[in-house]
Amino acid sequence: MTAGAQDEQRTILVVEDDVPLRDTLVYNLRAEGYQVLTASDGVTALELARQKPVSLVLLDLMLPRLDGLEVCRQLRSKPETADIAILMLTARVEETDKVVGLELGADDYVTKPYAWNELRARIRALLRRGGHKGAPDPADDVRQLAAGDLTVDLDRREVRRRGEEITLPARLFDLLVYFIRNRGNVLTRDRLLEKVWGYDYEGDTRTIDVHIRWLRERIEDDPANPQLIQTIRGVGYRFKG
């Protein structure tokens, strides 16, 4: 069964130096209807991403020449590659490695060994969101949002606070929009994962916590004592802007 007509022209860059694993990923992705590029080191990965129209990068952390974290950082730092979805593949179990990857701009991570069905679901979720198209609400046609001293222009994908523009990575923009549209409601981590990331199963909620901490650092006066995004212990989060 293919990934669907909407994915037929999607190109995925697989960055993995383990040849058998890379070959398996390529085989499965092509069977799903994706176009696939490959790189076995970080330098080649950056070159391909800058030269080709890539929709998503499957990025191993342990790479020769340039490691995956640095590849992620450089992809996010360049306008021509900043909006490419990044899904990290890591055999590392240390939580700090995962957090660093997310803070550098990766959209998500999968820890090896992983089940193909899980990886496929996460790939589809990222591509369904266009990598960074946000969490649209078909019933909500409002294109200008306001919350306290924050204003959001959905068409321009711009956020201003007290008139000053705030630069948000695309995933944080999506998260903020969903919070504002659901202000006052308690949102569970699973709901945020489903609505903003697009997963229809229970994923790793650590992704949510890292992104919310990062968002607080951009929009709160005191991120250590947040007033806009409140933690509801044992449940999730509530936006009170």
Q: Which domains does the chain have, with CATH numbers?
A: 5-128 (3.40.50.2300), 144-239 (1.10.10.10)
Pairwise pLDDT comparison (30 vs 93), residue with the higher score: 30
The gap between the terminal CA atoms of the chain, to the nearest Å, is 44
Q: How confident is the model at residue 204 (pLDDT cuts 50, 70, 90)?
A: low
Per-residue pLDDT tens for 103-141? 777 888 888 888 888 899 889 888 876 544 444 444 345
Specify the amino acid at residue 102.
L
pLDDT at 139: 35
Nearest to 59 by CA among 83, 85, 78: 85
pLDDT at 128: 76
Which helix (H) or strand (E) segment is 175 a member of?
Answer: helix 170-181
> Does residue 5 carry a pLDDT above 50?
no
Per-residue pLDDT tens for 43-71? 999 999 999 999 999 999 889 999 999 99
Nearest to 150 by CA among 129, 168, 171, 132: 168
Query: What's the whole-number average pLDDT of the chain?
Result: 84
In percent, how much of the chain has pLDDT > 70? 85
